[in-house]
Chain A
C-alpha cells in the first residue's frame, strides 16, 4: 500500500474536532476498511464514506465514494484529569483474501491545569494596613491551552460574582451625576472613535440596566431611585444622553480593564483583577476560582480560604481589597511532546 498523504491533527483540547485522513495510491485493492476507536473517543463525521456498519467499538466501511481517500473527525468528549493523554485510533484495510494492512494514529489530547501553590495563613487588617498588598496568592498553570478564569468571592454568606468593573463604574458615575442633578454641567468630550460602535455599546449598557442587571455594590436605595427614573418613558432621551456623556470614562475604563485582564500569557481574568469587599464582621474570604479552556470546557474549580482578623478601630467602614495573583507556569509544548513520543517509540523498536 503506497500512501500519498496521511494526517492527524497533532494536538487538541477535549471536544476539539481532530481531523484524520489517508490518501493512497488508487492501484491498492481492498474489500473493506475497519476503524477502531478507544474508549472516550468518538467519530463525529466521516468523509467520502458510502456505507458503514457498526459493531462494538469497531466501524466497518464497506464502500467509499471515491476509492482511494478516507477522512474522519474524532474528538474526546470527556474532560480528563491528566494534562496530556494519548489515544490510539486504528485503521485496517482488509483485502479479499483477508490480508490486513494496519495504520495507527495517535490523538494527543491536552488540558490546562490550574493549582494553588501559596496563600496567606491569615490576613490581619489594621488601620495602617497597605490594602494594595494585603492579599496575595500564587497559582500555577500547567498542561496546555489558554484559560479564562472567573473569581467568585464570598466573605460569609453566598458567593458573589463581581460585576464587570467597566460597567460598575459607569453605573456608579451615572447615579452620582443624577443625584447631583448636574446632567448638563459636564462639558462634552471630543472622542474620535467609531461612533457606531460606541452607540452600540451605549445601547448594550442601557439594555443591561433595564433588565435589572446592576452592580452589586451600588447602594439599594440609590438603585431603586435610579430604576424608577430609568423606567419612566419621559427620561429615555436623557438616559441615552447620560450614557453617551460617559463614553470617555467608558473608553478609559475599557482600556484599563483590558490592561489588567491579561496578567500573563494564556490567562484571562474575565472580570479583571479580583477584589473583595470587607464589611463589618468579616472573618474570612473564600475565593472560588472557576476556569475554562478556549472551547468552554469547564474544569474543577479551586477553593481558597483565607481567615481575616479585623483590628481596625472603625469596623463599620466597607473597604475594597484587591487580590493579587502571582502566576507560575509550567506548560507543555505539544510539538516537543510529539518528538519525545517518537524517540520513545524508536527506542522500543
Chain B
C-alpha cells in the first residue's frame, strides 16, 4: 500500500468525520435543548432503504422540574430532525400536543404535560446517501460460483466508521442495509426459446427487408416460406418481448432466490439499460441489519438456476400456439 493510498484512506475517514460531525452536532443541539429533562438516548436507528434516522430519548420530567422551568425548551428545526411522537410512559398515552413548530424551531412546553414523570420522545430525520456510504460497506460477488444447478454469490456487509456516532454507538442499529446482487439472465432465454420461433423471427426480418427494398421476387418467395413455418412458432415479436419481461420481473423471479441468515431478500427488479431492450441482469436486493453487537454480516445468495431455466422453458411453451391435433377417423 503506497503512502498515497494510506492518505486516501485517511482522507476518506476524515470525510466520514465531516458528515458525521453534522449528525453529531445535530444530536448535540437536541441534547442541549432537552438538558433540563436529563435526556437519555435509548436507540438510534438508521433505515438504509428509506434513508431516514430515528432517535428515541427517554426524558425524566418530575412535577418539580415542570414548576421550576421558566422558559420553553427549544430544538432548532434546522437540526434536520423533526419531532415524530411523544409518549407518556406512565399512562402509555400520546402527548404530542406539548410540542409545536414555531418559526424554524420545535418548541416544547412542559406545562402542557400530565402528572407523569417518564416520557419517550421520538425524533426523525433524513440522511444522505453519502453518509450511508461512509457508514457501511456492501459487497457482492461479481460472478457466481456454480454447483448442482445453483449459482452462488458471496455477500458481505460491514459498518465502516462508527466513531462519528460514538456516543450513541451502543444503541446504534443500521437497518435494512441493502445491496443489489446482479444475476445474469441473458443466456437463459437464448436456450429456452425454441428454434422454430427464432427461424420465424429471422424470416420476418428478411421479409420486412425485402418489402422495404422493393424486391418483389424475394418478397413473394419469403411470403411463401413464411406460410409454411410451423404453427407453434406463430408468436408476435411484441408478445414474446412482453413475455420475457414478465419472466424477469421480481414477482416471477422471487421464487428462485434465497439467502443465508442473517440476510433477507428485498426488492427484485430487472436492471434496465437503454441500449438493450431485453435486460441482461436482474437485481436482487439483499438486506441485513448491522449494529454494535454484530457490525458485520456474511453469507451467500443462491439462485436456483436450473429450476429457473426449466420454469421459463415451460412458460414459453405454454404461451406458444399449440399444434393442431388430427381428428381420428
Contacts and interface: CB of A to CB of B under 8 A. Distances in A.
A47 B237 contact: no
B278 interface: yes
A47 B158 contact: yes
B314 interface: no
Nearest to A110: B143
Contacts of A295: 142
Contact of A201 (B1, B3, B152, B277): B277
A256 B142 contact: no
B12 interface: yes
Nearest to A71: B158
B9 A176 contact: no
B241 A335 contact: no
A256 B201 contact: yes
A256 B159 contact: no
Contact of B295 (A17, A18, A69, A263): A69
A108 to B, nearest CB: 11
B13 to A, nearest CB: 8
B319 to A, nearest CB: 14
B6 A255 contact: no
Interface residues of A, number: 74
Interface residues of B, number: 61
A177 B237 contact: no
A16 interface: yes
B141 interface: yes
Interface string B282-318: 0000000000101110100000000000000000000
A16 B6 CA distance: 19
Interface in A252-294: 252-256, 258-266, 268, 293-294
Contacts of A260: 190
A71 B143 contact: no
Interface string A234-257: 000000000000001101111110
A333 B298 contact: no
Contacts of A69: 159, 295-296
Contacts of A48: 159-162, 295
Contacts of B139: 9, 17-19, 73
A340 B121 CA distance: 56
A324 B142 CA distance: 29
Name the residue in A144, A191, A252, A268 with the highest tally of chain B Cβ atoms < 10 Å from its Cβ: A252
B224 interface: no
Nearest to B274: A200
Interface in B188-204: 189-190, 193, 198, 201-202, 204
B242 A173 contact: no
Interface in A15-42: 16-19, 21, 23, 37, 42
B208 interface: yes
A259 B190 contact: yes
Contacts of A46: 9, 13
A251 B212 contact: no
Interface string B149-192: 00010101011111100100100000000000000101101100
Given A9-B139, A176-B213, A252-B201, A65 B162 contact: yes
Given A42-B2, A251-B237, 16 more contacts: A47-B160, A48-B159, A65-B162, A66-B162, A71-B137, A71-B296, A146-B184, A172-B209, A176-B214, A200-B274, A248-B238, A251-B277, A252-B237, A255-B241, A256-B205, A264-B187
11 contacts: A5-B294, A9-B154, A23-B296, A37-B1, A45-B9, A47-B160, A65-B166, A66-B292, A248-B237, A255-B237, A259-B201
Interface of A: 5, 7, 9-13, 16-19, 21, 23, 37, 42-50, 52, 54, 57, 59, 65-66, 69, 71, 73, 144-146, 169, 172-173, 176-177, 180, 186, 191-193, 197, 200-201, 204, 248-249, 251-256, 258-266, 268, 293-295, 333-336
